């Protein structure tokens, strides 16, 4: 009886030691729920949009801008940046005859003065950011 007690006590401690050793040396099992696995491939959203970043670094000359001088294809260079305002043309609040002559041109001053000495709001400044397609190439 005494021998059985000693044997089962030893077995008990051996089993406890085994569990402890396993918890120390074995790698942690991946979570069973939908939790993200750090070793898994990155999700598609994490990857940068392939075209977005380089487009902003593209340089355009004024003669390239000048090729886009119509209501249906309207680029402008303003303060060293190039914008494609084609989608914005129908939304501009002034009469189109005020905005359209600046398609295909360097329009910094026109933008600054609205062609009549009043500056655009900071809302307009924010609005134009989304139409930026690149930078103006400095003339040689």
For residues 69 and 92, which CB has a smaller minimum distance to ligand HEM in the complex? 92
Is residue 74 a contact point for ligand HEM (CB under 6 A)? no
Q: What are the residues whose beta carbons fall under 8 Å from the beta carbon of 111, sequence distance 6 or more?
A: 76, 78, 79, 102, 120
Q: Minimum distance from CB of 58 to ligand HEM (Å)?
A: 19
Is residue 43 a contact point for ligand HEM (CB under 6 A)? no
Within 13 Å and on the Cβ side, how many CA atoms surround 87? 8
Binding residues for ligand HEM, rule: CB under 6 A, are: 76, 85, 88, 92-94, 98-99, 102, 107, 110-111, 114-115, 118, 120-121, 123-124, 127-128
């Amino acid at each position: 009886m005494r021998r059985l007690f000693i044997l089962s006590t030893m077995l008990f401690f051996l089993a406890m030691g085994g569990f402890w050793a396993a918890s120390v040396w074995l790698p942690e099992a991946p979570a069973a729920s939908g939790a993200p696995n750090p070793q898994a491939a990155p999700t598609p959203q994490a990857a940068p949009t392939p075209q977005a970043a380089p487009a902003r670094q593209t340089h355009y000359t004024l003669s390239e801008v000048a090729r886009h001088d119509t209501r249906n294809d309207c680029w402008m260079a303003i303060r060293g940046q190039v914008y494609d305002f084609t989608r914005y043309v129908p939304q501009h609040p002034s009469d189109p005859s005020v905005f359209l002559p600046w398609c295909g041109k360097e329009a910094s001053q026109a933008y600054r003065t609205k062609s009549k000495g009043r500056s655009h709001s900071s809302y307009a400044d924010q609005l134009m950011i989304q139409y930026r397609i690149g930078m103006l190439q400095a003339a040689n």
